[in-house]
Amino acid sequence: MTTTYHTNGRVKWSLGTAYHDNGRTAFSLGTAYHDNGRTAFSLGTAYHDNGRTAFSLGTAYHDNGRTAFSLGTAYHDNGRTAFSLGTFYDEYGRVVNNKSFSIALGKGIQMQIIPTIKITVYGRKIN
């Protein structure tokens, strides 16, 4: 694996470890961290950078505490449906032609919910 760099010249990925542009570890040995040092993903549970749970036991949550995904339905952070019964909706309730639904957990860390749960750190899947 080649070493990649942030625009400020700091290492982004090297030897299986990811770093934030502030130099803090973003991912190492199966655990992801936010740029503020808080845990982002560990042992199957994901957390937002504000410390709130983002994913646990099959349910996902937005950083404001609202449900993002439960029992096959995804929701926007304003509470409106984002995905249900094979149809995607924008934050205003209009049908859109999307293929996936994701939420940001913090800088550089993304959680895709639909079509599958996938967490990425600076673009690389970690779970």
Cα(57)–Cα(45) distance, rounded to whole angstroms? 8
Domain that holds residue 69: 4-125
Q: How confident is the model at residue 46 (pLDDT cuts 50, 70, 90)?
A: very high
Q: How deeply is 125 buried, as exposed, middle or buried, from its count of CB atoms within 10 A (0-12, 13-18, 19+)?
A: exposed
**Domain count across the chain:** 1
On the question of pLDDT at 1 being above 70, the answer is no
Distance (Å, rounded) from C-alpha 120 to C-alpha 32? 9
Average model confidence (pLDDT) across the chain: 95
pLDDT for 52-97, tens place per residue?
999 999 999 999 999 999 999 999 999 999 999 999 999 999 999 9
Give the pLDDT confidence score for residue 127 in this predicted structure. 82
Mean pLDDT (whole number) for 7-24: 96
Mean pLDDT of 102-119: 93
Instruction: Report the pLDDT averaged over residues 104-121.
Output: 93
